[in-house]
Structure 1
Amino acid sequence: MILCMLLQNILASNWQGYLNTVKADANGSKGEIYTSKVRYFVKRGKPYIWVPENDMHNVNTMIDERGSFAVTSPFPGPLPSFLKSIKKLPARVALMGEVLPLKDEKAGLPGESLKEVISSERSMIEKFYYSVLGILNSSSLGATCRGDNLQELLDSDKRYVVFKFNPSNGGTHEVDLEEVLATKPDPLSSHTMSLIDGINQSEVRRRALILFCITHLNKNAKVISGCL
């Protein structure tokens, strides 16, 4: 259950990931992998991926629907470089499954769902406790959420093809797919970057978080170069 929650929190905290499909042409599958960064959102536990109309994924999936999708926990500012320097890479989710294009009457549904997600995440800010709002407002990123970063998809004139990623069981840490789909992410997960950045803007907050981790989570947290 904890692993399922972690998986959903990572998916809900980010809005972009790396889609991998098998390179193919008119002669069939070539067995090589093509990768590109794409934007997505999650509905009922499954990623819906926006792929530019001229991207090779559109051709690849016509021949071979197999694919994988990788998403990491987002970190603001210098944190990604710092974590990489100490060989502490962010948590990552890697899913294997089928990459299926939405066609005809279903093609417009993700756009409507995305509007609902953006509206819901923005209205959720009003329900946060004062302490959470204080952290979000002190962030250099502002009280941004995943939906704010996805708004560009709705505003852009660029043409996209929307794919539904159907995960399958398998991988290094195998979890029950039905349990994953039934697990809901933490309501704060879509504001992960702003929360981390807001905490790092204050020495008092950083040290308070360290004490909390040591006392309640039995974790050895450290402050190095002003970053958690």
Structure 2
Amino acid sequence: MKGNKATVLSFAEKCKNILASNWQGHLNTIKADAKGSKEDIYTSKVKYILKRGKPYIWVPEKDLHNVNTIIDERGSFSVSNPFAGALAALFRSIQRLPARVALTGDIVPHRDEKSAAEYLKEVILAEQKAISGSSYTVTGVLSSSDVFSTSRSENLKELVEGDETYMIYKFNPRSCIFIEGNGGTHEVDLEDMDASKADRLAPFSAKLIDGINQSEARRRGLMLFCLSYLKANVKDAYMVSIDRKGFDVLGKVPGPVLKDGFGQYQWKEFRFSLKEEARDVEKFCRQLVEMEEEAVKNVSSFSGLG
């Protein structure tokens, strides 16, 4: 079940999925005044959507980015794999960062704000429709998630329904770097990015991950996966990321034994591949439940579980 070329995504696909799964990122622009660009960087968290593979960013009207980009349109934009609730607390406790995408490029005003706003409404409605029409299997997995911290549509709705006025920008990337959770970096060819498509389940990944991690029963299922499929005895487990080919789990495993005969626990990442590619949320949740049932059968045949 461990990852290989057939069971994991390319770095370009991982980047596309992260961009499609989140709704907020950190925008960096060069501080400027009437005399021209300065070297200082101004950073703020902004909301965005992905359209034709490029981020369209909503910047509040009073934000300094609007002044900075008039003088110098260069900037950078970083987006992390979405994490919330139980996973966020775990990351803080072990001082780990989620995988993320770092883009550099040009921030260009989007002249047709009406079309961008209409597209935003379409994205929100399509996502809400997909969830409301979900089967019992999907709602069972999502039921534990915190809707306001993990629902992309709920978080984007305030751009449409709120009182704040926004400037809309298109971010044209000139470079892309994928940064792993352990800090490893990989430069991604922009042609590969353009050729890659995000998974259809990406917009729902934050809800799925949080729904699994907030449920003790689902987390026990992840522990069973580690034991049943990888023969790894873990004391706890959390879902970290999902995609159409599989998912990544952080498992709490015994560390090296120290001189005094005792060892500490450490967190190790495990990759699980799906039997069939999950083209949508329905197929992902169905396979997850089938894996849980299979793991229970496998483990129940083992002896001496502790």
TM-score normalised by length of structure 2: 0.66
Determine which of 188, 191, 205 is the counterpart of 1:175.
188
Does 1:204 find its partner at 2:210?
A: no
Q: How much has 1:216 moved relative to structure 2?
A: 5.5
1:103-157 superposed Cα distances (whole Å, 9 cap, x missing partner)? 2xx1222101101111111222256453222111233438963122101100112
Q: Does 1:136 align with 2:142?
A: yes
- Supply the AA of the counterpart residue of 1:45: G
Deviation at 1:217, TM superposition (A): 7.6
SS of residue in 1 equivalent to 2:32: strand
More helix by share: 1
Is 2:206 aligned against 1:193? yes
Letter in 2 for 1:38: V
Taking the aligned partners of 1:220 and 1:168, their CA distance within structure 2 comes to: 44
Match of 2:143, SS state, is: helix
- Give the corresponding residue for 1:47: 55
- Equivalent positions of 1:77-226 (< 5 A) are 77-103=85-111, 106-126=112-132, 128-141=134-147, 145-169=151-175, 171=177, 172-212=185-225, 223=236
- Report the structure, 1 or 2, having the larger strand content: 2
Distance 1:92 1:187, change over 3 A: same
Matches of 1:67 and 1:50 in 2, distance apart? 15
146-155 or 125-134, which moves further after superposition?
Answer: 125-134
> Could you say if the C-alpha distance between residues 180 and 83 of structure 1 is closer, same or farther in structure 2, counting changes exceeding 3 Å?
same
1:185 Cα deviation after fit: 1.8
- Residues 220, 183 of structure 1: alpha-carbon distance in 2 compared, 3 angstrom cutoff: farther
1:44 offset after TM fit, Å? 1.1
Structure 2 unpaired stretches of 5+: 1-8, 178-184, 241-249, 251-306
Percent identity of equivalent pairs: 55
Distance, in Å, in 1 between the alignment partners of 2:232 and 2:52 is: 32
Q: Offset at 1:169?
A: 2.7
The structure, 1 or 2, with the larger RCO (C-alpha pairs under 8 Å, 6+ apart) is 1
The one-letter code sitting in structure 1 at the alignment partner of 2:108 is: L
Relative distance call for 1:173 and 1:217 in structure 2 (3 A) is farther
Whether the aligned pair in 1 keeps the contact of 2:113 and 2:168 (CA below 8 Å) is yes
Structure 1 residues 217 and 6 mapped into 2: Cα distance closer, same or farther (>3 Å)? farther
CA 1:222–1:119: 2 relative to 1, 3 Å:
farther
CA gap of 1:220–1:117, structure 2 versus 1, over 3 A, is: farther
Structure number, greater radius of gyration: 2
Partner of 2:13: 5
The answer on 1:23 being equivalent to 2:31 is: yes
| Change in 2 beyond 3 A, CA 1:26/1:196 | same
Q: Deviations over 1:66-90 (max 9, x none)?
A: 1000111222214223212212211
2:31–2:42 contact (8 Å) kept in structure 1: yes
The answer to whether residue 83 in structure 2 is matched with residue 75 in structure 1 is yes
Q: Secondary structure at the match of 1:168?
A: strand
Taking the aligned partners of 1:175 and 1:132, their CA distance within structure 2 comes to 33
Change (3 A) 1:41 1:185: same
Shift in Å, 1:34: 0.5
The root-mean-square deviation of aligned C-alpha atoms, in Å, is 2.7
